[in-house]
Chains A and B, each alone.
Chain A
Amino acid sequence: MKIFQIALGILAAIGGFVDIGDLVFNVSAGATFGYQLLWVIVIGVVGIIVYSEMCGRVATVSGKAVFDAVRERLGFRTGLAALVSAQVVNLMTLTAEIGGVAICLQLLSALPYRLLILLAGIVLAIVVWTTSFDWIERVFGYGGLCLLVFAVAAVKLHPSWSAVAHGFVPHVPTQSPVLYAYFAVGLLGAAMTPYEVYFYSSGAVEEQWGPKDLGLNKANAMIGYGLGGFLSLALMIVGGALFLPKGIEPEFLGSIALTAQVPLGQIGLLLALVGILFAVGGAAIDTMFSGAYNLAQFLGWEWGRYRSNSGAPRFTATWLVLLVLGLGLVMTGIDPVQLTEYAVIFSSVALPLTYIPILLVANDRSYMRQYVNGRLANTLGLFYLVVIVVVALAAVPLLILTNAGQN
Protein backbone atom coordinates (compact mmCIF):
# COMPACT_ATOMS: atom_id res chain seq x y z
CA MET A 1 0.00 0.00 0.00
CA LYS A 2 1.30 3.47 -0.92
CA ILE A 3 0.55 4.92 2.51
CA PHE A 4 2.95 2.42 4.13
CA GLN A 5 5.75 3.48 1.79
CA ILE A 6 6.23 6.85 3.44
CA ALA A 7 6.60 5.31 6.90
CA LEU A 8 10.39 5.74 6.85
CA GLY A 9 10.15 9.50 6.42
CA ILE A 10 7.41 9.75 9.03
CA LEU A 11 9.33 7.74 11.63
CA ALA A 12 12.59 9.58 10.93
CA ALA A 13 10.77 12.91 11.20
CA ILE A 14 8.63 12.13 14.23
CA GLY A 15 11.58 10.54 16.01
CA GLY A 16 13.76 13.50 15.08
CA PHE A 17 11.43 16.50 15.29
CA VAL A 18 9.24 15.65 18.23
CA ASP A 19 11.42 13.65 20.57
CA ILE A 20 11.30 14.42 24.28
CA GLY A 21 13.60 17.44 24.10
CA ASP A 22 11.93 18.94 21.05
CA LEU A 23 8.50 18.56 22.60
CA VAL A 24 9.55 20.63 25.58
CA PHE A 25 11.83 22.96 23.57
CA ASN A 26 9.12 23.85 21.03
CA VAL A 27 6.49 24.51 23.66
CA SER A 28 9.03 26.47 25.73
CA ALA A 29 9.87 28.60 22.70
CA GLY A 30 6.15 29.31 22.30
CA ALA A 31 5.75 30.00 26.02
CA THR A 32 8.67 32.46 25.92
CA PHE A 33 8.33 34.20 22.56
CA GLY A 34 4.81 33.33 21.43
CA TYR A 35 4.72 32.71 17.70
CA GLN A 36 7.81 34.77 16.88
CA LEU A 37 10.00 31.74 16.15
CA LEU A 38 7.66 29.91 13.76
CA TRP A 39 9.78 31.01 10.79
CA VAL A 40 12.80 29.20 12.23
CA ILE A 41 10.92 25.89 12.12
CA VAL A 42 10.09 26.48 8.46
CA ILE A 43 13.77 27.13 7.67
CA GLY A 44 14.77 24.01 9.58
CA VAL A 45 12.17 21.85 7.86
CA VAL A 46 13.25 22.92 4.38
CA GLY A 47 16.87 22.26 5.37
CA ILE A 48 16.25 18.75 6.61
CA ILE A 49 14.12 17.98 3.54
CA VAL A 50 16.96 19.15 1.27
CA TYR A 51 19.60 17.06 3.03
CA SER A 52 17.42 14.00 3.66
CA GLU A 53 16.43 13.90 0.02
CA MET A 54 20.13 14.21 -0.86
CA CYS A 55 21.37 11.46 1.45
CA GLY A 56 18.38 9.26 0.56
CA ARG A 57 19.29 9.72 -3.12
CA VAL A 58 22.93 8.86 -2.40
CA ALA A 59 21.86 5.72 -0.51
CA THR A 60 19.39 4.80 -3.23
CA VAL A 61 21.83 5.20 -6.11
CA SER A 62 25.09 4.05 -4.51
CA GLY A 63 23.88 1.82 -1.66
CA LYS A 64 26.05 3.90 0.69
CA ALA A 65 24.68 5.50 3.84
CA VAL A 66 25.99 8.63 5.60
CA PHE A 67 28.89 7.17 7.54
CA ASP A 68 30.19 5.32 4.50
CA ALA A 69 30.50 8.78 2.97
CA VAL A 70 31.96 10.33 6.13
CA ARG A 71 34.71 7.71 6.25
CA GLU A 72 35.49 8.00 2.57
CA ARG A 73 35.33 11.77 2.26
CA LEU A 74 36.77 13.04 5.53
CA GLY A 75 39.52 10.49 5.95
CA PHE A 76 40.04 8.28 8.99
CA ARG A 77 41.00 10.82 11.68
CA THR A 78 38.42 13.52 10.95
CA GLY A 79 35.90 10.76 10.24
CA LEU A 80 36.70 9.30 13.63
CA ALA A 81 36.10 12.69 15.29
CA ALA A 82 32.75 12.85 13.50
CA LEU A 83 31.97 9.30 14.63
CA VAL A 84 32.85 9.99 18.27
CA SER A 85 30.80 13.20 18.40
CA ALA A 86 27.89 11.49 16.67
CA GLN A 87 28.00 8.54 19.06
CA VAL A 88 28.17 10.76 22.15
CA VAL A 89 25.15 12.75 20.99
CA ASN A 90 23.36 9.53 19.99
CA LEU A 91 23.94 8.04 23.42
CA MET A 92 22.83 11.23 25.20
CA THR A 93 19.68 11.30 23.10
CA LEU A 94 19.00 7.58 23.48
CA THR A 95 19.34 7.93 27.25
CA ALA A 96 16.90 10.83 27.26
CA GLU A 97 14.41 8.99 25.05
CA ILE A 98 14.40 5.89 27.25
CA GLY A 99 13.75 8.21 30.19
CA GLY A 100 11.02 9.87 28.13
CA VAL A 101 9.32 6.53 27.44
CA ALA A 102 9.40 5.79 31.18
CA ILE A 103 8.00 9.24 32.09
CA CYS A 104 5.23 8.81 29.57
CA LEU A 105 4.36 5.35 30.90
CA GLN A 106 4.38 6.81 34.40
CA LEU A 107 1.95 9.57 33.40
CA LEU A 108 -0.31 6.81 32.07
CA SER A 109 0.07 4.38 34.98
CA ALA A 110 1.62 6.11 38.04
CA LEU A 111 3.94 3.10 38.49
CA PRO A 112 7.47 3.68 39.88
CA TYR A 113 9.79 5.47 37.43
CA ARG A 114 12.76 3.10 37.70
CA LEU A 115 10.55 0.05 37.20
CA LEU A 116 9.22 1.68 34.06
CA ILE A 117 12.73 2.45 32.82
CA LEU A 118 13.49 -1.26 33.03
CA LEU A 119 10.19 -2.13 31.36
CA ALA A 120 10.88 0.40 28.59
CA GLY A 121 14.33 -1.11 28.00
CA ILE A 122 13.03 -4.67 27.89
CA VAL A 123 10.14 -3.81 25.57
CA LEU A 124 12.41 -1.83 23.23
CA ALA A 125 14.89 -4.73 23.10
CA ILE A 126 12.15 -7.28 22.37
CA VAL A 127 10.49 -5.09 19.73
CA VAL A 128 13.75 -4.38 17.92
CA TRP A 129 14.96 -7.99 18.21
CA THR A 130 11.78 -9.56 16.89
CA THR A 131 10.23 -7.01 14.55
CA SER A 132 11.17 -6.27 10.98
CA PHE A 133 12.36 -2.78 10.01
CA ASP A 134 9.17 -2.21 7.99
CA TRP A 135 6.93 -2.90 10.95
CA ILE A 136 9.04 -0.91 13.39
CA GLU A 137 8.72 2.17 11.21
CA ARG A 138 5.01 1.63 10.65
CA VAL A 139 4.09 1.04 14.30
CA PHE A 140 6.15 3.89 15.75
CA GLY A 141 5.72 6.30 12.81
CA TYR A 142 1.95 5.96 12.56
CA GLY A 143 1.48 5.63 16.34
CA GLY A 144 3.26 8.97 16.64
CA LEU A 145 0.57 10.51 14.45
CA CYS A 146 -1.59 10.72 17.61
CA LEU A 147 0.49 13.86 18.15
CA LEU A 148 -1.76 15.51 15.60
CA VAL A 149 -3.96 16.12 18.64
CA PHE A 150 -1.69 19.13 19.29
CA ALA A 151 -2.78 20.63 15.96
CA VAL A 152 -6.41 20.27 17.04
CA ALA A 153 -5.51 21.72 20.45
CA ALA A 154 -3.80 24.66 18.74
CA VAL A 155 -7.00 25.48 16.86
CA LYS A 156 -9.19 24.98 19.94
CA LEU A 157 -7.02 27.37 21.96
CA HIS A 158 -8.02 30.15 19.54
CA PRO A 159 -4.64 31.78 18.98
CA SER A 160 -4.47 35.15 17.28
CA TRP A 161 -4.07 33.94 13.70
CA SER A 162 -2.70 37.28 12.56
CA ALA A 163 0.05 36.96 15.20
CA VAL A 164 0.65 33.38 14.03
CA ALA A 165 0.96 34.59 10.42
CA HIS A 166 3.37 37.33 11.55
CA GLY A 167 5.50 34.62 13.19
CA PHE A 168 6.35 33.22 9.77
CA VAL A 169 8.12 36.46 8.84
CA PRO A 170 11.79 36.38 9.92
CA HIS A 171 12.62 39.09 12.42
CA VAL A 172 14.69 39.75 15.54
CA PRO A 173 12.85 40.98 18.63
CA THR A 174 14.00 44.04 20.55
CA GLN A 175 13.58 42.22 23.88
CA SER A 176 15.91 39.36 24.87
CA PRO A 177 17.66 38.94 21.49
CA VAL A 178 20.27 36.58 22.96
CA LEU A 179 17.65 34.25 24.41
CA TYR A 180 15.78 34.47 21.13
CA ALA A 181 18.96 33.49 19.29
CA TYR A 182 19.44 30.55 21.68
CA PHE A 183 15.96 29.25 20.90
CA ALA A 184 16.48 29.85 17.17
CA VAL A 185 19.74 27.90 17.18
CA GLY A 186 18.18 25.13 19.26
CA LEU A 187 15.20 24.86 16.92
CA LEU A 188 17.45 24.73 13.85
CA GLY A 189 19.72 22.20 15.54
CA ALA A 190 16.73 20.09 16.50
CA ALA A 191 15.25 20.23 13.01
CA MET A 192 18.53 19.22 11.40
CA THR A 193 19.75 16.90 14.15
CA PRO A 194 22.21 14.49 12.54
CA TYR A 195 20.71 11.22 13.70
CA GLU A 196 17.70 11.90 11.45
CA VAL A 197 19.86 11.60 8.34
CA TYR A 198 21.91 8.69 9.71
CA PHE A 199 18.66 6.82 10.29
CA TYR A 200 16.99 7.97 7.10
CA SER A 201 19.84 7.11 4.74
CA SER A 202 20.44 3.75 6.40
CA GLY A 203 16.71 3.12 6.28
CA ALA A 204 16.80 3.65 2.52
CA VAL A 205 19.41 0.88 2.31
CA GLU A 206 17.36 -1.28 4.71
CA GLU A 207 14.38 -0.91 2.41
CA GLN A 208 16.63 -1.75 -0.54
CA TRP A 209 15.56 1.27 -2.54
CA GLY A 210 16.95 1.49 -6.05
CA PRO A 211 16.92 4.27 -8.66
CA LYS A 212 13.27 3.50 -9.41
CA ASP A 213 12.49 4.58 -5.84
CA LEU A 214 13.87 8.11 -6.17
CA GLY A 215 10.33 9.48 -6.28
CA LEU A 216 9.54 7.57 -3.12
CA ASN A 217 12.63 9.10 -1.52
CA LYS A 218 11.40 12.59 -2.39
CA ALA A 219 7.92 11.81 -1.08
CA ASN A 220 9.33 10.41 2.17
CA ALA A 221 11.54 13.43 2.73
CA MET A 222 8.88 15.99 1.90
CA ILE A 223 5.84 14.39 3.52
CA GLY A 224 7.65 12.89 6.51
CA TYR A 225 9.65 15.96 7.48
CA GLY A 226 6.84 18.26 6.42
CA LEU A 227 4.64 16.45 8.92
CA GLY A 228 7.31 16.65 11.61
CA GLY A 229 7.59 20.39 10.99
CA PHE A 230 3.81 20.77 11.10
CA LEU A 231 3.77 19.11 14.53
CA SER A 232 6.56 21.41 15.71
CA LEU A 233 4.55 24.42 14.57
CA ALA A 234 1.49 23.12 16.42
CA LEU A 235 3.52 22.63 19.60
CA MET A 236 4.89 26.16 19.45
CA ILE A 237 1.42 27.57 18.86
CA VAL A 238 -0.09 25.74 21.87
CA GLY A 239 2.80 27.04 23.98
CA GLY A 240 2.17 30.57 22.76
CA ALA A 241 -1.61 30.40 23.10
CA LEU A 242 -1.86 28.66 26.48
CA PHE A 243 1.34 29.21 28.45
CA LEU A 244 2.64 32.62 27.37
CA PRO A 245 -0.39 34.64 28.59
CA LYS A 246 -0.28 32.81 31.92
CA GLY A 247 3.47 33.06 32.39
CA ILE A 248 3.95 29.28 32.57
CA GLU A 249 7.42 27.95 31.81
CA PRO A 250 7.03 24.28 30.83
CA GLU A 251 9.80 22.02 32.11
CA PHE A 252 8.12 18.63 32.27
CA LEU A 253 6.69 16.25 29.72
CA GLY A 254 3.44 16.40 31.70
CA SER A 255 3.23 20.15 31.01
CA ILE A 256 3.24 19.39 27.28
CA ALA A 257 0.38 16.91 27.64
CA LEU A 258 -1.52 19.54 29.63
CA THR A 259 -1.68 21.72 26.52
CA ALA A 260 -3.88 19.07 24.88
CA GLN A 261 -5.87 18.36 28.04
CA VAL A 262 -6.93 21.97 28.68
CA PRO A 263 -8.78 22.45 25.37
CA LEU A 264 -9.78 18.82 24.70
CA GLY A 265 -10.18 17.14 28.09
CA GLN A 266 -9.36 13.51 28.84
CA ILE A 267 -9.36 12.35 25.24
CA GLY A 268 -6.89 15.08 24.33
CA LEU A 269 -4.68 14.11 27.23
CA LEU A 270 -4.71 10.41 26.34
CA LEU A 271 -4.04 10.98 22.65
CA ALA A 272 -1.19 13.33 23.56
CA LEU A 273 0.37 10.80 25.93
CA VAL A 274 0.02 7.92 23.46
CA GLY A 275 1.44 10.07 20.67
CA ILE A 276 4.35 11.15 22.85
CA LEU A 277 4.96 7.51 23.86
CA PHE A 278 5.25 6.38 20.24
CA ALA A 279 7.26 9.45 19.19
CA VAL A 280 9.73 9.12 22.03
CA GLY A 281 9.89 5.33 21.61
CA GLY A 282 10.51 5.89 17.89
CA ALA A 283 13.26 8.38 18.71
CA ALA A 284 14.85 5.81 21.03
CA ILE A 285 14.91 3.32 18.16
CA ASP A 286 16.17 5.99 15.71
CA THR A 287 19.11 6.83 17.95
CA MET A 288 19.86 3.24 18.93
CA PHE A 289 19.95 2.16 15.28
CA SER A 290 21.81 5.31 14.24
CA GLY A 291 24.57 4.50 16.70
CA ALA A 292 24.83 0.96 15.38
CA TYR A 293 24.62 2.06 11.75
CA ASN A 294 27.35 4.67 12.21
CA LEU A 295 29.82 2.34 13.85
CA ALA A 296 29.17 -0.52 11.44
CA GLN A 297 29.42 1.69 8.37
CA PHE A 298 32.56 3.40 9.62
CA LEU A 299 34.29 0.10 10.37
CA GLY A 300 32.94 -1.71 7.34
CA TRP A 301 30.91 -4.32 9.24
CA GLU A 302 27.84 -6.13 8.00
CA TRP A 303 24.83 -4.09 9.10
CA GLY A 304 21.08 -3.79 8.77
CA ARG A 305 17.84 -5.13 10.16
CA TYR A 306 17.11 -6.69 6.78
CA ARG A 307 19.71 -9.26 7.79
CA SER A 308 18.85 -11.56 10.68
CA ASN A 309 20.24 -10.70 14.13
CA SER A 310 22.91 -13.34 13.66
CA GLY A 311 23.53 -12.22 10.07
CA ALA A 312 24.98 -8.93 11.32
CA PRO A 313 26.24 -9.91 14.79
CA ARG A 314 28.45 -6.86 15.47
CA PHE A 315 25.68 -4.51 14.38
CA THR A 316 23.24 -6.35 16.65
CA ALA A 317 25.70 -6.30 19.54
CA THR A 318 26.24 -2.54 19.05
CA TRP A 319 22.57 -1.58 19.37
CA LEU A 320 22.22 -3.91 22.34
CA VAL A 321 25.24 -2.34 24.06
CA LEU A 322 23.93 1.16 23.34
CA LEU A 323 20.57 0.21 24.81
CA VAL A 324 22.19 -1.16 27.96
CA LEU A 325 24.40 1.95 28.29
CA GLY A 326 21.39 4.22 27.84
CA LEU A 327 19.44 2.24 30.44
CA GLY A 328 22.34 2.44 32.88
CA LEU A 329 22.70 6.21 32.40
CA VAL A 330 19.01 6.98 32.81
CA MET A 331 18.91 4.81 35.93
CA THR A 332 21.35 7.26 37.56
CA GLY A 333 18.45 9.71 37.81
CA ILE A 334 19.63 12.12 35.13
CA ASP A 335 16.83 14.44 33.91
CA PRO A 336 15.89 13.25 30.40
CA VAL A 337 14.41 16.57 29.31
CA GLN A 338 17.50 18.59 30.24
CA LEU A 339 19.79 15.94 28.80
CA THR A 340 18.18 15.97 25.39
CA GLU A 341 18.16 19.79 25.30
CA TYR A 342 21.93 19.70 25.80
CA ALA A 343 22.15 16.94 23.20
CA VAL A 344 20.42 19.19 20.68
CA ILE A 345 22.90 22.01 21.32
CA PHE A 346 25.94 19.71 21.20
CA SER A 347 24.70 18.01 18.06
CA SER A 348 24.53 21.47 16.47
CA VAL A 349 28.31 21.68 16.88
CA ALA A 350 28.73 18.42 14.96
CA LEU A 351 26.33 19.34 12.14
CA PRO A 352 28.97 20.34 9.55
CA LEU A 353 30.82 17.04 9.93
CA THR A 354 27.63 15.24 8.94
CA TYR A 355 26.35 17.46 6.17
CA ILE A 356 29.53 18.37 4.30
CA PRO A 357 30.26 14.75 3.23
CA ILE A 358 26.68 14.31 2.06
CA LEU A 359 26.94 17.39 -0.14
CA LEU A 360 30.29 16.21 -1.52
CA VAL A 361 29.09 12.71 -2.37
CA ALA A 362 25.85 13.99 -3.87
CA ASN A 363 28.02 15.99 -6.31
CA ASP A 364 30.35 13.10 -7.21
CA ARG A 365 29.41 11.87 -10.67
CA SER A 366 31.44 8.67 -10.24
CA TYR A 367 28.99 7.67 -7.49
CA MET A 368 25.83 9.33 -8.57
CA ARG A 369 26.00 9.15 -12.37
CA GLN A 370 23.06 11.11 -13.79
CA TYR A 371 21.60 11.51 -10.30
CA VAL A 372 24.13 14.11 -9.08
CA ASN A 373 22.78 17.26 -7.45
CA GLY A 374 21.11 19.73 -9.76
CA ARG A 375 21.48 23.48 -9.45
CA LEU A 376 18.59 23.85 -6.99
CA ALA A 377 19.85 21.10 -4.69
CA ASN A 378 23.34 22.63 -4.67
CA THR A 379 22.12 26.18 -4.09
CA LEU A 380 19.95 25.05 -1.18
CA GLY A 381 22.65 22.68 0.05
CA LEU A 382 25.26 25.46 0.15
CA PHE A 383 22.85 27.91 1.76
CA TYR A 384 22.09 25.40 4.50
CA LEU A 385 25.76 24.61 4.92
CA VAL A 386 26.31 28.28 5.79
CA VAL A 387 23.34 28.14 8.18
CA ILE A 388 24.74 24.97 9.76
CA VAL A 389 28.19 26.50 10.27
CA VAL A 390 26.66 29.60 11.89
CA VAL A 391 24.55 27.35 14.14
CA ALA A 392 27.59 25.23 15.02
CA LEU A 393 29.65 28.29 15.96
CA ALA A 394 26.87 29.97 17.93
CA ALA A 395 25.46 26.97 19.80
CA VAL A 396 27.84 26.67 22.74
CA PRO A 397 28.36 30.42 23.37
CA LEU A 398 24.58 30.90 23.41
CA LEU A 399 24.20 27.92 25.74
CA ILE A 400 26.62 29.58 28.16
CA LEU A 401 25.30 33.14 27.76
CA THR A 402 21.70 32.12 28.43
CA ASN A 403 22.47 29.45 31.03
CA ALA A 404 20.75 26.94 28.75
CA GLY A 405 17.79 29.21 28.20
CA GLN A 406 17.23 29.85 31.91
CA ASN A 407 18.18 33.55 31.90
Chain B
Amino acid sequence: MTLVQDGQSTRGSSAKLIARVASALLVFALAGCNGGTVDKHALKRDAEKVGSLATEGELMANDVSKGASTKYFVRVHAKELSGAAADFEDSLAKRPTSPGIASDVRKLSKLAGKVSRELEQLHLHPTDRNVATSLKQPLLDDADAADKLAK
Protein backbone atom coordinates (compact mmCIF):
# COMPACT_ATOMS: atom_id res chain seq x y z
CA MET B 1 0.00 0.00 0.00
CA THR B 2 1.18 3.51 -0.73
CA LEU B 3 -0.40 5.18 2.17
CA VAL B 4 2.45 7.49 3.09
CA GLN B 5 2.07 8.90 -0.41
CA ASP B 6 -1.54 9.54 0.47
CA GLY B 7 -0.27 11.39 3.50
CA GLN B 8 2.06 13.50 1.33
CA SER B 9 -0.77 14.40 -1.00
CA THR B 10 -2.84 15.65 1.92
CA ARG B 11 -0.16 18.03 3.21
CA GLY B 12 -1.53 20.96 1.24
CA SER B 13 -5.00 20.32 2.53
CA SER B 14 -3.73 20.09 6.10
CA ALA B 15 -2.18 23.55 5.75
CA LYS B 16 -5.56 24.81 4.52
CA LEU B 17 -7.18 23.09 7.46
CA ILE B 18 -4.91 24.89 9.92
CA ALA B 19 -5.68 28.22 8.21
CA ARG B 20 -9.40 27.49 8.43
CA VAL B 21 -9.16 26.62 12.13
CA ALA B 22 -7.16 29.80 12.79
CA SER B 23 -9.73 31.98 11.02
CA ALA B 24 -12.52 30.25 12.91
CA LEU B 25 -10.69 30.94 16.18
CA LEU B 26 -10.61 34.61 15.19
CA VAL B 27 -14.36 34.52 14.60
CA PHE B 28 -14.72 32.82 17.96
CA ALA B 29 -12.81 35.63 19.64
CA LEU B 30 -14.84 38.29 17.84
CA ALA B 31 -18.11 36.56 18.67
CA GLY B 32 -17.27 37.06 22.34
CA CYS B 33 -17.71 40.82 21.91
CA ASN B 34 -21.33 41.63 22.67
CA GLY B 35 -21.26 45.07 21.08
CA GLY B 36 -22.66 46.66 17.97
CA THR B 37 -25.86 48.43 17.08
CA VAL B 38 -29.13 46.91 18.22
CA ASP B 39 -31.26 46.46 15.11
CA LYS B 40 -34.72 44.92 14.86
CA HIS B 41 -33.34 41.42 14.59
CA ALA B 42 -31.08 41.86 17.62
CA LEU B 43 -33.98 43.35 19.59
CA LYS B 44 -36.11 40.33 18.76
CA ARG B 45 -33.38 37.88 19.76
CA ASP B 46 -32.59 39.71 22.99
CA ALA B 47 -36.27 39.96 23.88
CA GLU B 48 -36.62 36.22 23.33
CA LYS B 49 -33.64 35.60 25.59
CA VAL B 50 -34.94 37.86 28.34
CA GLY B 51 -38.31 36.13 28.06
CA SER B 52 -36.53 32.77 28.27
CA LEU B 53 -34.75 33.80 31.49
CA ALA B 54 -38.03 35.00 33.02
CA THR B 55 -39.85 31.81 32.06
CA GLU B 56 -37.09 29.60 33.40
CA GLY B 57 -37.13 31.64 36.60
CA GLU B 58 -40.88 31.10 36.89
CA LEU B 59 -40.39 27.36 36.40
CA MET B 60 -37.87 27.31 39.22
CA ALA B 61 -40.00 29.55 41.48
CA ASN B 62 -42.90 27.18 40.93
CA ASP B 63 -40.77 24.22 42.09
CA VAL B 64 -39.49 26.15 45.11
CA SER B 65 -43.07 27.07 46.05
CA LYS B 66 -43.84 23.32 46.15
CA GLY B 67 -40.67 22.43 48.06
CA ALA B 68 -39.50 20.44 45.03
CA SER B 69 -35.98 21.82 44.75
CA THR B 70 -32.84 22.13 46.87
CA LYS B 71 -31.46 25.21 48.59
CA TYR B 72 -28.05 25.15 46.93
CA PHE B 73 -29.35 24.49 43.44
CA VAL B 74 -31.80 27.38 43.61
CA ARG B 75 -29.24 29.70 45.13
CA VAL B 76 -26.70 29.03 42.37
CA HIS B 77 -28.96 28.69 39.35
CA ALA B 78 -31.10 31.72 40.23
CA LYS B 79 -27.88 33.72 40.49
CA GLU B 80 -26.77 32.52 37.04
CA LEU B 81 -30.10 33.52 35.50
CA SER B 82 -30.14 36.82 37.37
CA GLY B 83 -26.61 37.60 36.19
CA ALA B 84 -27.53 36.84 32.57
CA ALA B 85 -30.55 39.16 32.81
CA ALA B 86 -28.38 41.89 34.38
CA ASP B 87 -25.95 41.57 31.44
CA PHE B 88 -28.84 42.27 29.06
CA GLU B 89 -29.93 45.23 31.16
CA ASP B 90 -26.44 46.76 30.97
CA SER B 91 -25.72 46.08 27.32
CA LEU B 92 -29.15 47.20 26.07
CA ALA B 93 -28.88 50.41 28.06
CA LYS B 94 -25.52 51.28 26.50
CA ARG B 95 -25.55 50.03 22.92
CA PRO B 96 -26.57 52.31 20.05
CA THR B 97 -29.85 51.42 18.35
CA SER B 98 -31.25 51.53 14.83
CA PRO B 99 -33.69 54.41 14.18
CA GLY B 100 -37.22 53.88 15.46
CA ILE B 101 -36.58 51.16 18.01
CA ALA B 102 -34.73 53.07 20.74
CA SER B 103 -37.76 53.19 23.01
CA ASP B 104 -38.36 49.42 22.73
CA VAL B 105 -34.68 48.70 23.38
CA ARG B 106 -34.70 50.79 26.56
CA LYS B 107 -37.97 49.14 27.62
CA LEU B 108 -36.35 45.77 27.17
CA SER B 109 -33.34 46.92 29.19
CA LYS B 110 -35.61 47.92 32.08
CA LEU B 111 -37.51 44.67 31.80
CA ALA B 112 -34.27 42.70 31.93
CA GLY B 113 -33.34 44.63 35.08
CA LYS B 114 -36.67 43.74 36.66
CA VAL B 115 -36.22 40.06 35.78
CA SER B 116 -32.72 40.19 37.24
CA ARG B 117 -33.95 41.66 40.52
CA GLU B 118 -36.76 39.11 40.84
CA LEU B 119 -34.36 36.25 40.24
CA GLU B 120 -32.02 37.80 42.79
CA GLN B 121 -34.84 37.46 45.34
CA LEU B 122 -35.04 33.77 44.53
CA HIS B 123 -31.27 33.55 44.97
CA LEU B 124 -31.44 35.25 48.37
CA HIS B 125 -34.44 33.20 49.60
CA PRO B 126 -33.94 29.79 48.01
CA THR B 127 -36.17 27.89 50.43
CA ASP B 128 -38.83 30.50 51.14
CA ARG B 129 -42.02 29.19 49.57
CA ASN B 130 -43.87 32.48 50.10
CA VAL B 131 -41.23 34.49 48.27
CA ALA B 132 -41.21 31.93 45.47
CA THR B 133 -45.00 32.00 45.21
CA SER B 134 -44.99 35.80 45.08
CA LEU B 135 -42.46 35.77 42.22
CA LYS B 136 -44.31 33.40 39.90
CA GLN B 137 -46.83 35.84 38.45
CA PRO B 138 -44.40 38.76 38.02
CA LEU B 139 -41.98 36.50 36.16
CA LEU B 140 -44.77 35.23 33.92
CA ASP B 141 -45.81 38.84 33.25
CA ASP B 142 -42.19 39.69 32.40
CA ALA B 143 -42.07 36.81 29.95
CA ASP B 144 -45.26 38.06 28.31
CA ALA B 145 -43.87 41.60 28.10
CA ALA B 146 -40.67 40.31 26.52
CA ASP B 147 -42.71 38.29 24.07
CA LYS B 148 -44.56 41.44 22.99
CA LEU B 149 -41.28 43.27 22.47
CA ALA B 150 -40.00 40.37 20.38
CA LYS B 151 -42.93 40.76 17.93
- State the A residues within 8 Å of B (CB): 72-75, 77-79, 81-82, 84-85, 88, 106-110, 246-252, 254-255, 257-258, 261-262, 265-266, 269-270, 273, 342, 345-346, 349-350, 353, 360, 364, 396, 399-400, 403-404, 406-407
Chain A nearest CB from B151 CB (Å) reads 12
Minimum-distance CB pairs A-B, first 10: A75-B7, A254-B77, A81-B14, A110-B72, A74-B7, A265-B68, A78-B7, A249-B52, A396-B24, A75-B4
Query: When chains A and B are docked, how far (Å) is the Cα of A261 from the Cα of B31?
Result: 33
Judge whether B31 and A404 touch: CB under 8 Å: yes
Known contacts A73-B6, A84-B18, A266-B70; 19 additional CB pairs below 8 A are A73-B7, A85-B18, A107-B77, A108-B73, A247-B147, A248-B59, A261-B63, A265-B66, A266-B68, A266-B69, A269-B69, A349-B20, A349-B21, A360-B1, A396-B20, A403-B31, A404-B28, A406-B45, A407-B41
Judge whether A107 and B72 touch: CB under 8 Å: yes
Query: When chains A and B are docked, how far (Å) is the Cα of A75 from the Cα of B1?
Result: 13
Chain B nearest CB from A247 CB (Å) reads 6
Query: When chains A and B are docked, how far (Å) is the Cα of A255 from the Cα of B71?
Result: 16
B9-42, CB under 8 A of A: which get 1 and which 0? 0110011011011011001100100000000010
Query: When chains A and B are docked, how far (Å) is the Cα of A273 from the Cα of B72?
Result: 12
Judge whether B17 and A258 touch: CB under 8 Å: no
Q: Does B114 contact A (CB under 8 A)?
A: no
Size of chain B's interface in residues, with CB distance under 8 A? 45
Judge whether A258 and B3 touch: CB under 8 Å: no
Q: Does B93 contact A (CB under 8 A)?
A: no
Q: Chain A at the B interface: mostly helix, strand, loop or mixed?
A: helix
Chain A residues, Cβ within 8 Å of B6: 73-74
Given known A-B contacts A251-B84, A349-B20, A360-B3, A77 and B14 have beta carbons under 8 A apart: yes
Chain A residues, Cβ within 8 Å of B101: none
* A251, closest chain B residue (CB): B84
* A393, closest chain B residue (CB): B20
Judge whether A262 and B7 touch: CB under 8 Å: no
Query: When chains A and B are docked, how far (Å) is the Cα of A211 from the Cα of B31?
Result: 49
Q: Does B141 contact A (CB under 8 A)?
A: no
**Which among B70, B71, B76 has the greatest number of chain A C-beta atoms within 10 A?**
B76
Judge whether A77 and B11 touch: CB under 8 Å: yes
Chain B residues, Cβ within 8 Å of A403: 31
Judge whether A108 and B72 touch: CB under 8 Å: yes
**Which among A73, A75, A79, A88 has the greatest number of chain B C-beta atoms within 10 A?**
A75
Chain B residues, Cβ within 8 Å of A261: 63, 68-69, 73
